[in-house]
Each structure stands twice: as structure tokens, then as C-alpha cells.
């Protein structure tokens, strides 16, 4: 059993993770389903060590041998870099070495291919301020940020520094730092260190706590363009998330340029896409007036989409620009609902509205949009 062969299988299947446990057949996660590789057999503890030890440094092997609670994340494995980028999560299971390998994305998609709202570029052209990309885990936030930073890097000569966890994309000519909380290299500590090195642009993987939020805001106010992500459901609720973390409202309004919320929905399979007549109930549930859509599209299910009717995914975006009127409302302590209404009045396309556009374009289905976004008339 060879690690390289298994990693190739992971890539060929388009999987996200490969699970290796002694005594069990290897398994690959493709979307949400586990594919068991029955043909390669079950690795023994000895075979597990033979596969994994060569990618480790000597001291890492010693740690594994001596620590019964061994747990280790490895981002730069030796000898397999030509196959792509992987994150190895190693741990001991019943005394034997186990491993979950995550395939990290390789090349950075262009802003065009992501279909970002055109206004986003105006903000990333700014010399100072805070740009936030929000959404739940797996919504493509890091991909969007990496593309934005990559484009900025090509457009102007700027000193760019990043602190990430994990580093998902290699950005050419950019100083990327992997966060390592176990040695105090947290987002907040890295940000503090960066500010002493005078960068123009800073990417912070995620704002999770008050400390990181405050330094990010401070950096944005003192002449840096700061890009980061936050785990919120939509763009308007990001404001309250920041103030609930303890950032003063006036600092939010002074620093924040825009918030881009995003979601990924499944794209209808091109091979088996067909028209159907939606029921009035379905149209009402998603919020499409009946006269706008006598027919919609869905995938019937075929071999190339494994019978699901969907292949690949498409992003929905909600871009909230922090305008003067919005700033006033934030200072006055407006609720997320009030901020949303105001932003919509100022032209914001919501996630649900973006989803409806994609339904009418035949790219996704009402069911997908209903499951990933909330109605706007809350």
C-alpha cells in the first residue's frame, strides 16, 4: 500500500478527505458521501507507519512513539508536494497511527470565474479600511479572499502579509504565515507583529474573538487595507456580531468598507437538466411571483451526477456597502433587521434575491436556494 497511490485516488475522485485507519479499508469523502476503497485492502499498524513516517521529520516520529495522546497537523508533507497540497491530521487510535488527509485547493480561481458582484473591486482598490467576507464554514469564503488578494497583488505593488489557518492557496510573492496557537502564534499575535513590519495589505484568516477584531479594526484605521472573514449568516448581522464582540460602534463605522456574505448552492447538472412547471406553493416558498416563472429547471439525475441532478456548485453573494446612511444607523444602534432594510433600500441584493436570479437563469433550483438562504420579509 502506497501513500502516493492513495493520494492520487483522492485527487482522481475529486474527494475532500482521505481517512486512513489501521485495520479498516481507506475511505475517501466526496461531497458528503464516503467512498470505501475496498480494492486496496486494510492497512496494518506496520503499513500505516511505513506510509506516514517518510513524510514526517525525525522529531515528529519520536513524539508519536512517546506520546499516547499524539495529535498533529502537518501542512507541508515531504515527498508528495507534486501531487497537490494536503493537510495531514495525525493521531493515535487504539495505539496505532491514524490519519485524515484533507486535499487543499491548488490554483486560485479568478474573480471573473467566481462571479463576484462588480462593486467588490472598488473596495479592494482602497488603501485603508476593513473588507469582510462572511458565511458559514464551507461557503467558499477563503477562496474569495485568496482571489481578491491575488488580484490586488497583480494590480499594484503593495506589501501584503497574511495569517491563515490553514493556508489553502499558495499566493505567489506574498508572505503567508500559518497560525499555530500551540506556540502562541494566534491571529491576534501575528497581526500585532505584522503592524510593526509596515505592510499595506493584511489578510486575517478569520475574526473569531474580540482581541483579533480590535487589532484588525485598529490596523484598518491606521492606513492598512485589512481583509478577513467572519462566521455570520448574512451581511447586515455582521455589524452586531462585531459590536457584540466588544468593538465600539463608532470604530466599526470608521473602519468597515463593506461586507460580502456568501453561500454555495448546488448547480443543476448540464447533462440531465430539464424544464418543469413549478407549483404555485414552490414559487411562493422561494419568493418568485408566479407570472415571472411558468417553467424552471431541475436535473433529472444521470450517471455523470450520480443520480443527484446536481454537479459542481455556484456562489450566491450579498454585498453590503457601508454608506453614510448606514453609518448613522449603526451609531444609533440599529438592529440587524433595520440595517438590512436600510441596506436593501440602498440597493443591496440579498442572498435570497441572488438565489432567485440563479433559479431564473436555470443554474440552480428553488429547493437549493430555500435550504441555503432565508426569506427577506422576516
Count CA within 13 A, CB hemisphere, residue 327.
Answer: 12
Alpha helices in the chain (DSSP H): 3-12, 45-52, 58-66, 111-114, 120-124, 141-155, 187-195, 210-221, 236-245, 249-255, 280-286, 324-331, 336-345, 351-360, 366-372
Interface residues with Zn ion (CB under 5 A)? 269, 271-272, 299, 302, 305
- Report whether 7 contacts 80 (CB < 8 A): yes
Closest approach of Zn ion to the CB of residue 121, in Å: 34
Closest approach of Zn ion to the CB of residue 372, in Å: 20
Q: How far is CA 63 from the centre of its chain?
A: 32
Q: Residues 123, 124, 126, 130: is their CA dihedral positive or negative? A: positive
Nearer to Zn ion, 275 or 328 (CB): 275
Q: Which residues contact 191 (CB under 8 A, 6 or more apart)?
A: 163, 202, 204, 212, 215, 216, 219
Closest approach of Zn ion to the CB of residue 268, in Å: 8
Closest approach of Zn ion to the CB of residue 221, in Å: 50
Closest approach of Zn ion to the CB of residue 358, in Å: 18
Closest approach of Zn ion to the CB of residue 299, in Å: 5
Nearer to Zn ion, 99 or 268 (CB): 268
Cell matching residue 86: 494536503
Closest approach of Zn ion to the CB of residue 300, in Å: 7
Nearer to Zn ion, 20 or 269 (CB): 269
Cα distance between residue 298 and residue 56, in whole Å: 47
Q: Using N-to-C axis directions, what is the helix angle for 336-345 and 236-245, rounded to 10°?
A: 140
Closest approach of Zn ion to the CB of residue 31, in Å: 14
Cα distance between residue 183 and residue 165, in whole Å: 14
Nearer to Zn ion, 64 or 297 (CB): 297
- Report whether 225 contacts 161 (CB < 8 A): no
Nearer to Zn ion, 253 or 271 (CB): 271
DSSP 173: T
Q: What are the angstrom distances between the C-alpha of 364 and each of 1, 270, 311?
A: 41, 11, 10
Amino acid at each position: 500500500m502506497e501513500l502516493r497511490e492513495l493520494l492520487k485516488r483522492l485527487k482522481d475522485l475529486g474527494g475532500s478527505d482521505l481517512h486512513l485507519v489501521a485495520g479498516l479499508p481507506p475511505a475517501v469523502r466526496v461531497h458528503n458521501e464516503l467512498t470505501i476503497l475496498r480494492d486496496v485492502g486494510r492497512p496494518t499498524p506496520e503499513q500505516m507507519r511505513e506510509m506516514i513516517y517518510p513524510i514526517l521529520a525525525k522529531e515528529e516520529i519520536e513524539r508519536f512513539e512517546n506520546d499516547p495522546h499524539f495529535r498533529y497537523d502537518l501542512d507541508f508533507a515531504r515527498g508528495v508536494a507534486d501531487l497537490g497540497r494536503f493537510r495531514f491530521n495525525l493521531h493515535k487510535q487504539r495505539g496505532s497511527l491514524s490519519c485524515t488527509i484533507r486535499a487543499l485547493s491548488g490554483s486560485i480561481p479568478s474573480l471573473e470565474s467566481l462571479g463576484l458582484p462588480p462593486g467588490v473591486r472598488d473596495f479592494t482598490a482602497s488603501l485603508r479600511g476593513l473588507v469582510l467576507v462572511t458565511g458559514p464554514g464551507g461557503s467558499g469564503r477563503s477562496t474569495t479572499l485568496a482571489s481578491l488578494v491575488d488580484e490586488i497583488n497583480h494590480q499594484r505593488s503593495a506589501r501584503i502579509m497574511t495569517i491563515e489557518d490553514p493556508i489553502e492557496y499558495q499566493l505567489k510573492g506574498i508572505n503567508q504565515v500559518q497560525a499555530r496557537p500551540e506556540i502562541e502564534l494566534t491571529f491576534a499575535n501575528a497581526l500585532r507583529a505584522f503592524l510593526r513590519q509596515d505592510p499595506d495589505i493584511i489578510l486575517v484568516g478569520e475574526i473569531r474573538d474580540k482581541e483579533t477584531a480590535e487589532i484588525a479594526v485598529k490596523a484598518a484605521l491606521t492606513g492598512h487595507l485589512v481583509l478577513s472573514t467572519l462566521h455570520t449568516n448574512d451581511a447586515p448581522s455582521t455589524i452586531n456580531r462585531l459590536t457584540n464582540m466588544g468593538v465600539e460602534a463608532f470604530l466599526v463605522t470608521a473602519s468597515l468598507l463593506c461586507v460580502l456574505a456568501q453561500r454555495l448552492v448546488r448547480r443543476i447538472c448540464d447533462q440531465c437538466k430539464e424544464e418543469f412547471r413549478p407549483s404555485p406553493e414552490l414559487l411562493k416558498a422561494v419568493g418568485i411571483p408566479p407570472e415571472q416563472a411558468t417553467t424552471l429547471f431541475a436535473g433529472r439525475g444521470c450517471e455523470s451526477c450520480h443520480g443527484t441532478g446536481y454537479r459542481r456548485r455556484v456562489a450566491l453573494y450579498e454585498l453590503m456597502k457601508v454608506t453614510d446612511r448606514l453609518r448613522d444607523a449603526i451609531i444609533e444602534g440599529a438592529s440587524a433587521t433595520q440595517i438590512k432594510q436600510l441596506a436593501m433600500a440602498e440597493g443591496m441584493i440579498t442572498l435570497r434575491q441572488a438565489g432567485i436570479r440563479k433559479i431564473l437563469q436555470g443554474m440552480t433550483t428553488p429547493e437549493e436556494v430555500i435550504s441555503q438562504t432565508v426569506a427577506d420579509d422576516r
